[in-house]
């Protein structure tokens, strides 16, 4: 006789006991090493651990926090972990939860970035990346489909997406300006055509219960989660100092135009533009890191995205790869300290990329806890998300060009790469395979083709 699943069992009426900081620390450490598969998989893993199995927080409270994180620029899964840690154990809990969500992937990317840049010319590594590049092109197109199917619900959204694509593809308009115009259009549209812009940015419906939770639907916010102007000002001042101090140190010791200083400034701006997930900011990163600063090549950017997809943290951690490669190739600390330069840059850009996320959560959390109603800023968000579809499509075309015509249009068309890209797209779009599975399979195929067939 088959055993009933946990969801078939009656919900417990007894809430779990108080969760100690040490218990929570163990969970955040676990999530930091198991968070493969992008934000959807990471949020699902957190939901299973926090809501379904441990019942530390109720379904409604979890989704309420997630809706807030969805409205913020930055990696929503990492911000959600920070929010959960803060709600249970004050600021120290939020900081630890957020850091442990990032640190394993930072160490992973520093290691693999060094292996890539130092040994990428070897046949083994070259063969693996030959298969990975077409898969990444398919992954980006898959992102266009996934985000577009959710965001482009009417003609207004399609028009914003099309205009955004034309703006970046034909006129090379900066990504921040595209996003600002999309948000303004959506805000104005919501006043005159509200039915076109009332797109729900939430995840799921909070009508399910897994039993009594430690922080339940009607549990009052703890003392530290109650809004106070003094607390808000304290967080903003500390956050400002944590940004200003390293930026001032870099500027005074190295100069404003030094690569490390410019990386800190550039990735601060990138952190404030990641509405819609990591794929939304990738066009901005490639515009700046490749076209403006020349920190890395288009091929290296594609390879970095592949490594970012395979790491156990937020996809936006690809910034660590960009920082490492840019500093390593330029040998900022001299030819004998290239690894040190790369690791320093990777840590630096990670700091400037994720610092705003901690400030948003620790400063905004009390405001969110003061109301459990729906947030009211979805119209600009819907416009931004529609614009993101257009700019990600442009990114996919950019990747496809460099993968399928590796030596330019004047060179030959790589039919093998095209077939690998089509196979990866079929696996993602039709058979719904996980991204990491597709990347690994494509890498092995590329290695086989390079070492045996080609």
Residue 123 pLDDT more than 80? yes
Percent of the chain whose predicted confidence (pLDDT) is above 90: 36
pLDDT band, very low/low/confident/very high, at 14 (cuts 50, 70, 90) = low
Query: According to the model, what pLDDT value does residue 336 have?
Result: 92
What integer is the mean pLDDT of 209-232?
83
Q: What is the pLDDT of residue 380?
A: 75
Question: pLDDT by residue (tens digit) across 140-149?
Answer: 888 788 778 8
Residue 277: pLDDT band (50, 70, 90) is: low
The tokens describing 186, both together, are 């959506």
| Residue 398 pLDDT > 70 | yes
Span 428-439, average pLDDT: 86
Model pLDDT, residue 11: 44
Tokens of 390: 């257009």
Cβ-proximal residues to 369 (8 Å cutoff; 6+ apart), any chain: 87, 221, 225, 226, 227
What pLDDT sits at residue 201? 43
**Across 309-315, average pLDDT:** 79
- Dump pLDDT digits (tens) for 162-213: 999 999 888 888 777 888 898 889 888 888 887 777 654 444 444 556 678 8
Q: Specify which of 102-116, 216-230, 271-285 reaches the highest per-range mean pLDDT.
A: 102-116
Q: What are the pLDDT digits (tens) for 48-77?
A: 889 888 889 988 888 778 767 877 788 888
More confident residue, 344 or 59: 344
Residue bearing the bigger pLDDT, 442 or 39: 442
| Residue 310 pLDDT exceeds 90 | no
Q: Contact, 101 vs 314, CB < 8 A?
A: yes
The band of 357, judged by pLDDT with boundaries at 50, 70 and 90, is: very high
Arithmetic mean of pLDDT, 424-430: 92
Quick one: pLDDT at residue 235?
A: 95
Q: What's the mean per-residue pLDDT of the chain?
A: 84
Task: Decide which of 349 and 37 is more confident.
Answer: 349
pLDDT grade for 368, boundaries at 50, 70 and 90 = confident
pLDDT at 356 over 50: yes
Lowest mean pLDDT across 17-21, 208-212, 294-298, 327-331: 208-212
Question: If pLDDT is split at 50, 70 and 90, which confidence band does 37 have?
Answer: low
């Amino acid at each position: 006789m088959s055993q009933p699943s946990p969801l078939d069992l009656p919900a417990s009426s007894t809430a779990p006991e108080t969760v100690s900081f040490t218990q929570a620390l163990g969970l955040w450490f676990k999530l930091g090493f198991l968070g493969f598969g992008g934000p959807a998989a990471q949020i699902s893993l957190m939901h299973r651990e926090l809501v379904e199995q441990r019942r530390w927080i109720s379904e409604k409270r979890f989704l309420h926090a997630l809706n807030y994180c969805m409205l913020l620029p930055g990696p929503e899964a990492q911000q959600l972990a920070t929010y959960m840690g803060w709600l249970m154990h004050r600021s120290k809990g939020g900081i630890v939860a957020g850091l442990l969500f990032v640190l394993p992937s930072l160490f992973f990317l520093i290691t693999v970035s060094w292996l890539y840049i130092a040994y990428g010319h070897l046949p083994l590594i070259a063969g693996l990346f030959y298969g990975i590049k077409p898969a990444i092109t398919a992954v980006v197109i898959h992102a266009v489909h996934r985000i577009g199917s959710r965001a482009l619900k009417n003609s207004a959204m399609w028009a914003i997406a099309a205009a955004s694509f034309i703006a970046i593809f034909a006129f090379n308009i900066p990504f921040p300006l595209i996003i600002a115009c999309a948000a303004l259009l959506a805000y104005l549209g919501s006043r005159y055509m509200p039915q076109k812009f009332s797109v729900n940015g939430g995840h799921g419906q909070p009508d399910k219960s897994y039993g009594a939770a430690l922080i339940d639907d009607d549990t009052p916010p703890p003392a530290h989660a109650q809004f106070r102007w003094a607390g808000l000002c304290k967080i903003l001042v500390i956050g400002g100092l944590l940004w200003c101090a390293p930026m001032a140190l870099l500027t005074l010791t190295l100069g404003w135009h030094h690569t490390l200083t410019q990386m800190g400034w550039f990735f601060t701006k990138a952190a404030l533009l990641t509405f819609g997930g990591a794929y939304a900011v990738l066009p901005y990163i490639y515009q700046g890191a490749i076209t403006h600063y020349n920190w890395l090549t288009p091929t290296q950017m594609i390879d970095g995205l592949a490594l970012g997809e395979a790491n156990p943290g937020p996809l936006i951690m690809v910034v660590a790869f960009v920082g490492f490669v840019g500093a390593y190739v330029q040998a900022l600390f001299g030819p004998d300290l290239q690894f040190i330069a790369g690791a320093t840059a990777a840590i630096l850009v990670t700091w400037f990329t994720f610092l705003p996320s901690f400030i948003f959560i620790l400063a905004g959390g009390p405001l969110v806890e003061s109301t459990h109603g729906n947030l009211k800023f979805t119209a600009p968000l819907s416009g931004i998300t529609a614009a993101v579809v257009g700019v990600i499509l442009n990114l996919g075309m950019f990747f496809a060009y460099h993968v399928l015509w590796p030596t330019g249009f004047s060179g030959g068309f790589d039919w093998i790469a095209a077939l690998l890209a089509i196979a990866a797209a079929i696996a993602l779009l039709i058979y719904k395979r996980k991204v990491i599975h597709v990347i690994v399979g494509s890498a092995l195929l590329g290695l086989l083709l390079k070492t045996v067939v080609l």
